[in-house]
Every structure is written in structure tokens, then in C-alpha cells.
Structure 1
């Protein structure tokens, strides 16, 4: 429902638009201090980002005080916490949520629509905002979120180990067959070396969706009534996960341990999100030569990769706070905020001006960050399963993948996929 949607005229009067290139402080708001409560996920990735954003925003909007709550551990916790807080009236004013969690917060009428705020802006395109940004946070024909940080899956290679295993750093593999073969050679270098790690348990089944989408597959049928990942794309994805274990001897490591092991120089190829790049590079600290490369086996023409990352949403129903929150939202998704985000993480900014002006030389100086940017033409939505069981389905998929990685069922990937298909089908709202 759009019960909290303000008209463009009301918003314009309240926040003294239009937007300038520097996003100047609206005079009406400067005389009326407002405190906003903000919460975001993954402190290890975003603490420095939000520290710098808070400082930069304060210089432009001293009338708005930002109070940050302790970060959510991950996207799942962030969504569950907001769902509980909506019942107890303890919501923050602004929340950063996973791209695949817009749907559930709209369905529960927690997210506040942004259409009126956007309509009131007169210079948004010049500030780097564009339709694709609105599309990411659109549900039921209305915009409820703007993307803050975009990530795509990439491969991280230890070129020192690649050379020792006889690989060619200038021609890293682009297929799973090639990745697995080289990883197996690296694994054979010694008992303290891992050929590969694949962050299969990353939030929201992201690295389950990626290899399925890369082969042109989908999670569900178009009407969302039936599982569709049980086709050839899904079977290839599950079989390859099993091959990581059986052929490349992939260890069962948690996401932080896989990152740390790679950064210590003990893993040949680490497959995860570009969001880890700045942190991982800092941890490596020159111990070996790092090179990022594309995600393998993206089918030409139909292959896509799910956009990871997070969006920013206004969830306060207070209209005075909404006006102030909009100033914060358009700053963090605008060129200056987006550039801060890109430089302090491995994420990509969706804002065009951030890329074209603020980050003009950044990717030239940091080519490892540009790998994911090259994959932007094949970006697609991170899928959110429908209905009351949407979050539970995520856990069910994770449990079945876990049975492969722990080696309990690594020899039977097709059977695991069949069981996973059955269990997910039972949880779909339109299941017959």
C-alpha cells in the first residue's frame, strides 16, 4: 500500500529542492534538526565506508544527526530483525538490505515508497541516477529502494601458485573444466596448499544462483509455481560443486576462513564476491601476486550473473523523518557517497556520475576492481523466493549444498538436486 507516499509537491516544499551538484542543505531543514537511526549489514566490509559517509554527509547536512545501530551480521539477520522490529515499533529510520530482500519488506508493507521523492527531483539524471537503478528496487510498479553497493561473482587467483603449478597467468581459465583442472594441479603442490575454495554458503544462495543463471537457467518457472533449477543448468551447477570436492579436493571452510586461507597464500583460486576485494587485498599485503578474473562458463547470449550487494530503504512512517531520510538516501546513492563506497570496498557503484567522474582514474589504477565492471552487461536480479517460506527456502537450499561440501553426498549430486527440488517445491505458495 502507498499510504505513506507523499506527493511530489509536498516533498518539494518540505525539502527545498532542486538537487544541486553538491546536494546543498535545504534551508527549511537546516532550522529543524532531525535525528535518523541507520542500520547496515556486514560491519567488516562496511564500517569504514559508513564512517566516511557519515563525516561527508555531516558537512552537507549538519541539521541531520545520524545514529548508527550495531551492524547486522548478514542480510538474513537484517531482514529478520526488521520484520520483528516492525511488530514492536522499533524500526530504524533507514535500513540497508540485501538486493534480494526488497520483495519481502514490500509485501509486509514495511518499506516506504520513494516515487514521490524521485518525482520531485529536477536534476537526478545529471547526478548519475538512471532507470536501471530504479528497476532494482521496484516492486509492484513502485520504487521502494535504491541500490547502494553492487557486486558480482568473480575469481581471485594466486598467480604465484598458478606459476608453480604450470599455469599461465596471462590465460587464466574461463570454464569450470579449466578451473577445476588447474585447481587440482595447485592442490597437488603440497599438503598445506588448497587448490580452490568456493564460497557456496554466501548469503541468499547467491553462489547457487550464479552458476545456474550463467547457463541460462532460472530458479522457478515464470508463474513461480514450480521449481526450474532442476533442469540442465541446475544439474551442471550441482555436479560442478561436487567436482570441486572430489576432483580439486576443496576443503570445507567457512567464508571468513576461506578468505583468510587465500590471503595467507595457501589457496590457488578463491571464488566469491567482488565485495571482498579491498579487504582481501589488504589482508594479502603483498605476500603474493593477486589477479581477479571472470566468473567461469557464462553462456553467450543467455547467460547472466545475479547482482549482489545491498539497497538502502526508508522504513520510518514519520513523514518529517522521511524527508530527512531522503536526503541521506540520495547522498549515499549519489556520486560522492557511491565513490566512497567503491574506494573502501570491492563493490561497484550503480551511479553513473560516480563511475564517470569520481572514479575516472580509479579503475585504471586498480585493474582488479575492474573485472566485475566488465561483467555488468550480463547482470540480472538476485532472485527472491516468493511467499511466507521465502527465507526458509534459502536455508533448505543451503542445507542440501552443505551435504555435498561436507562430502556426505559428494558422490551423488543428481540425487541431492532431486531432493532439493522436492523440498523447495513443497514450500512454494502455489505448489499443487
Structure 2
């Protein structure tokens, strides 16, 4: 008896034979990336029917992401692809958990022509090797409730350019009695806004050989003085990030300083209750100021070669033009891929609040990761010290807090 297979049956068998590689993917901040990842995987699987993507439960934030993968690296239970904060590439590379991507890149015909230019690749590079491809890039910006701003006597042509002007505007909004003047997401993951304040003043976290704290210099003193003034002068409320976002979206805070990544979500939460406008980070000085690139990279942690190859295909798609365009349209991040940016020209024209951060790209620098086994602990120490400023308990002694923070950090640095 002969077995006759129809074209449909042959096609079905071929597709079944191809659908053999399943990769697990895990990412942080579900409130920002759930929609993005789901849409991206649908588009990816249509182009790659031989690869199935399964999600693990999302990480809470980048600290959670790094800590969980470090623990899983010991037990051998890491996901195949992990999206990690730009400041956590170093620790996963140092621990041998992340897979170097240089051989994959070298095997591509023309990687740079696909929009992966060298500058952005540096964000995922450690000791000369590439361990992650940048997926979503953010910079700090300022959000304004223009209804409250106009009542305070300002308009879109007179928005603040300095921290002093922001404090002055915030005091006027507070005096109006309808809302608090300002909120800052100072506790955001990885001391990101603290770094932004120091870097914008021309400072660094450590000295050149990473043996000594440097954020306690003039740049750091100015930065912590600014934070203190938000509490002592502008009466910024002590809120968690989620509380601040909810209050701003409800029209209860006039000015908010945080990442551009939240533009899409905040716009939806506002829902037309008031006019939203975004503005540049304050006190930027050409030739002096820098701003840390926030966001995350896609990394391969799979040990099986077949899964690594499948994971590489997913990384290329997620960080390429199509994945980048999906990410931008569903968040507020910027795409590090040049060709994705080209696809989004009309989108940025129609969504000027998401375009503001693009003008700050000349100031972009790396999101610093402290060296050694205590890198994550240092992040917590700095956050705890800043809390004493922002809750008002030590806002009147900002320099003393900075000195304590520097001493705590110095004690946790690797001994040389």
C-alpha cells in the first residue's frame, strides 16, 4: 500500500518538525513591558515558526532580575534569555553566567548595517566582549501638568531650564493649594537618578581606577543639596514611585522627574484629565554634563547550543528594527537600533512628549555599576541614605548624609 501525502500534510509535517526549539525568556517591570513582550513574541514567532518562546514570571525590577539570575546560576536554572538593567551586565559577565555574543556577531554578514552601531553595543560590553544587545534606552526627563503650570504663571515657552527654576515653579504650584509641587522618582532602580544628578554636574561615582568614592566631591555636594531643596523648599512629599505616579496622573502633583520610559503609561493614566508636556532634564551644560542611559539589554544565558542559536535569533529580532519599533510604540523608551529610529519618524512627530529625550542623546553615558561582590549592596546603601533626605529626617544636614553615604560605600568597595 502506498502512502500518499497531500501538500497540506507535508506542510504540516514540516512545520511540526521545525517547531522543536523552545526558549524561556524573562524580563523586568511587567507594568512597562508586558504588552511589548507579548506583541513582540507574536511577530517573532510568525517569522520563526521553528522557535517557540515561553515567558517566566517577570522580575519586579532590575535588582530583582540580577539577584534571581545570580542565584539561578548556582543551581543551573537560568532562563535562556534574560533582559537585565544596563548597569547589571558587568556582574553577570564577571560570574560567567552571561554568554559572550562576539562569535554570533562575527558570523553575521554585516551586523552594523542592520542598525547595531558600535556606540550602542558598548552598553552591553565588558572587558572588550559583548554580553548584551541594548533593547530599550531611557534618559531622565521632566513631566509637567500644564494646567497647574499655567495657573502658576508659566507656559510652554517658560518651562524651567534649571533646578532653581523647578523649585520656584514647584513652590508656586504648592502655594496654589490644589496639588503638591514636585515629585521625583529618586528611588528608581540602580541609584539611576542619583547618578544623573552627579553626572549632570560633571562628577563620577568613583575615581578612575575605581578604588575610591568620588561622588562626595563638588558635583555630589551640589546634587545632594538639590535633592534636599526639593524637600525643604518645595516640600516634595515622601512617596513611593507608584504613589508618585498615581498622584501625578490624578493631577495631585504638578511636576515629576523620572524616566522617559513612563511616557506611554502616564499618558494613558492621565486619560485627558489635564494637558501633559515633557521637558528636558535641568541644568544640562554642553561639554560638562552627562546622563546615564537607563533601560535594559537582552542577554543569552542558555548553555545548550541549540537554545543559544534560537536565543540569538530572538535577540536579533527584539533589538532590531521591527522589535525596536514595537517597543517604542508600547512604552516611552528609545530604540537603540538606528533603523528602528528611522521607522519611527512619523511616530515621534505625532508624539512630541516621547521625542523630548532624543534631544538629550548627545549627553548619554553609561549607567554605572559598582565593582566587586558588594555592587548590589552598595546600591541599597545609597538608596537608604537618600531616603533620610527625602523623608525629611536629615534634609537639613545634606552634606553629613553625603559623607556617611561615601564612607558606607568606600567600606564595601573591593580592597586593593
TM-score, with normalisation over the residues of structure 2? 0.95
CA–CA separation in structure 1 for the residues paired with 2:17 and 2:145 = 51
Matching residue of 1:345: 331
* Structure 1 residue 31: Cα displacement: 3.3
Alpha-carbon distance between aligned partners in 1 of 2:219 and 2:147, rounded to the nearest angstrom: 33
Q: Which residue of 2 aligns with 1:185?
A: 172
> What is the aligned counterpart of 2:23 among 27, 30, 36?
36
What's the counterpart of residue 45 of structure 1?
32
Q: 2: CA distance between counterparts of 1:289 and 1:168?
A: 12
**In structure 1, distance between residues paired with 2:183 and 2:15:** 53
2:220 counterpart residue number: 234
The partner residue of 2:194 within 162, 185, 208 is 208
1:170 Cα offset (Å): 1.4
CA distance in 1, matches of 2:254, 2:334: 25
Distance in 2, Cα, partners of 1:407 & 1:29: 62
Tell me the number of residue pairs that the alignment of Structure 1 and Structure 2 aligns.
403
The one of 246, 254, 259 aligned to 1:268: 254
Secondary structure in 2 aligned to 1:113?
coil
Matched with 2:88 is: 101
The Cα of 1:300 is off from its aligned counterpart by 2.1
> Contact 2:15–2:49 (CA<8 Å) still a contact in 1?
no
Aligned runs of 1:118-267 on 2, under 5 Å? 118-190=105-177, 192-267=178-253
The 1:199–1:116 alpha-carbon spacing in structure 2 relative to 1, beyond 3 Å, is same
Partner of 2:393: 408
Which of the two has greater helix per residue? Answer: 2
Q: State the Cα distance separating 1:132 from its structure 2 match.
A: 1.3
Q: Distance in 1 between matches of 2:205 and 2:405?
A: 12
Q: In 2, are the aligned partners of 1:30 and 1:61 still within 8 Å (CA)?
A: no
Choose 132-141 or 375-384, whichever is displaced more: 132-141
* Match among 252, 260, 263 for residue 277 of structure 1: 263
2:333 is aligned with 1:323: no
Higher deviation after alignment, 345-354 or 358-367: 358-367
CA gap of 1:336–1:30, structure 2 versus 1, over 3 A, is farther
2:114 and 2:377 map into 1 onto residues whose CA distance is 39
Aligned to 2:79: 92
Distance (Å, rounded) in 1 between the aligned partners of 2:18 and 2:253? 56
CA distance in 2, matches of 1:67, 1:288: 39
In 2, Cα distance between equivalents of 1:168 and 1:65: 51
Q: CA RMSD in A?
A: 1.3
1:24 maps to which residue?
none
* In structure 2, distance between residues paired with 1:303 and 1:89: 42
Preserved contact between residue 19 and residue 52 of structure 2 (Cα < 8 Å): no
Shift of 1:89: 1.1
TM-score (norm 1): 0.92
Q: Residues of 1 paired with 2:250 and 2:67: CA distance?
A: 34
1:335 aligns with 2:321: yes
Which segments of 5 or more consecutive residues in structure 2 lack a partner in the other structure?
A: 1-13
Q: Is the 8 A contact 2:93 2:126 kept in 1?
A: yes
User: 2:345 maps to which residue?
Assistant: 360
Please state how far the C-alpha of 1:133 moved relative to its aligned partner. Answer: 2.3
In the TM superposition, structure 1's runs of 4+ consecutive aligned residues that sit over 2 Å from their partners are: 27-32, 123-126
Any conservation in 1 of the 2:112–2:118 contact (CA below 8 Å)?
no
Q: Does 1:379 align with 2:367?
A: no
1:134 positional shift: 1.5
Structure 1: state its 5+ residue gaps.
1-26
Aligned equivalents of 1:31, 1:267: Cα separation in 2: 53
**Rounded Cα–Cα distance in structure 1 between residues aligned with 2:15 and 2:257:** 49
